[in-house]
Amino acid sequence: MFTYESIQAFPKSELHCHLDGSIRPKTLQDIAKMQQMSIEEDLHEIEAKMRASKTCRNLEEYLVCFDYVLPYLQTAEALTRAAFDVMEQAAQDGVVYLEIRFAPSLSMEKGLTVSQIIKAVATGIAQAETQYEIIGNMLICGMRNTSSVQVKEIFTKALASGETKIVGFDLAGPEADGFSLEFTEPLDLVAKSTKVHLTLHAGECGCTQNIHQAIARGAKRIGHGISLAQDLDSLDHTICIEGCPTSNIQTQAIASYEAYPVRQWLDRGISFCLNTDNRTVSGTTLTNEFYQIAKAHALTETQLRLIARQGIEHAFTSQKIKTEILEKMAQSSLERI
């Protein structure tokens, strides 16, 4: 078995990490006090409200935790602090490349514009890059519980911001069958761009057809994709699944780490990587995701390295950065007990 410490020290990339679901309770408390907003003094109480139950009945119940956090993320200063915090956590977790995703529409209650929100998050990322050996980029999310017109507006303004840290777009929130067909215009907008890519949450709730429709809309990566376990022969092998095991267990998509389809995907040559989804909401780290999956499936060093390598190979970043990180991975060891 691999040691937890060696996995933590191993250079990793993370492609599926939500900003609002990954802020540490102490940081959220600091953000609240910075804005003179009311918040519990007991960090355990804050953590309890930020963390999803291990026995959520479904995805919708899992997402309730975000309602507690979002009121505190309505100023530029709060967003910058939050982004720095998530980058700092990732760096301490051995992550050398991180794509943070967030929905600008959820931080506009006090008048911030899309451009201001993006700039604030980019500032936090840049601050962390000067202090830690980590590179960060951004994925802009449209919310599936809003209209196609609203999502297109967000995407249009994000593209117009000119922020170079934006490398991709996504649709997030509750997953309905056929959702990508309802957002044709904003997805076409991304597909026509030569500077950004598309990743879509799909197949998180057993909707396998959503995965195929997302790929047809231009998605290069699929968030979660857990329902693919039922339809292994139909996936384009150039597509990467952004796996989030702990989150999938909490939302009842799978029963356990042992039930995660690692073996099926490895045997069929399906590209996938491991991610936290939401560090705080799921009470996890990327090291923990690797450790639990390696233990549950008795993975070899070759298999663990393959999963790590697939993450950076499918990152929405330059080939130069990919090559540098792949070299770091090749030079790093993974000790076993």
Confidence band of 48 (pLDDT split at 50, 70, 90): very high
Right CATH for 4-331 from 3.40.309.10, 1.10.10.10, 3.20.20.140, 3.40.50.80 = 3.20.20.140
Q: Is 168 helix (H, G, I), strand (E, B) or coil?
A: strand
Q: What is the residue-wise DSSP string for 205-241?
A: SS-HHHHHHHHHTT-SEEEE-GGGGG-GGGS-TT-EE
- Per-residue model confidence (pLDDT) at position 54: 76
Is the model's pLDDT at 232 over the cut of 90? no
The DSSP H or E segment spanning 126 is helix 114-131
Inform me whether the pLDDT recorded for 206 exceeds 80.
no
On the question of pLDDT at 101 being above 90, the answer is yes
The contacts of residue 327 (CB under 8 Å, 6+ apart) are none
Global pTM exceeds 0.85: yes
pLDDT of amino acid 59: 80
pLDDT(97) > 70: yes
The predicted model gives 277-292 an average pLDDT of: 97
Q: What does residue 230 show for φ and ψ, rounded to 5 degrees? A: -90, -10
User: What residue ranges do the domains of the chain occupy?
Assistant: 4-331
Q: Label residue 205 by pLDDT band (50, 70, 90).
A: confident
* Residue 74, beta-bridge partner list: none
Q: Is the pLDDT of residue 337 over 80?
A: no
Rounded to the nearest 10 degrees, how much is the dihedral formed by the CA atoms of 131, 100, 92, 130? -10
Q: What is the pLDDT of residue 336?
A: 73
Share of the chain above pLDDT 70, in %: 98
pLDDT at residue number 233: 66
Is a pLDDT exceeding 80 seen at residue 105?
yes
What is the DSSP track for 8-62?
Answer: HHS-EEEEEEESTTS--HHHHHHHHHHTT----S-HHHHHHHHSPPTT-SSHHHH
- Three-state DSSP class for residue 170: strand
pLDDT at 52: 87
- The pLDDT of 234-261, averaged and rounded, is 91
Whether pLDDT at 237 is above 80: no
CA triplet 98, 297, 227: central angle to 5 degrees? 65
**Residue 299 confidence (pLDDT) above 80:** yes
- 228/212 Cα distance (integer angstroms): 10
Return the active site residues. Answer: 204
Query: What local confidence, expressed as pLDDT, does residue 231 receive?
Result: 64
Average pLDDT value for residue range 149-168: 97
Query: Mean pLDDT throughout 216-240?
Result: 84
Give backbone dihedrals phi and psi of 130, rounded to 5 degrees, phi first.
-80, -20
Tell me which DSSP letter residue 2 carries.
B
Q: Is the pLDDT of residue 235 over 90?
A: no
How far apart CA 116 and CA 271 sit, in angstroms, is 35
**Range with the lowest mean pLDDT among 59-63, 237-241, 270-274?**
59-63
Show Cβ contacts of residue 188 under 8 Å, excluding neighbours closer than 6 positions: none
pLDDT of residue 62: 84
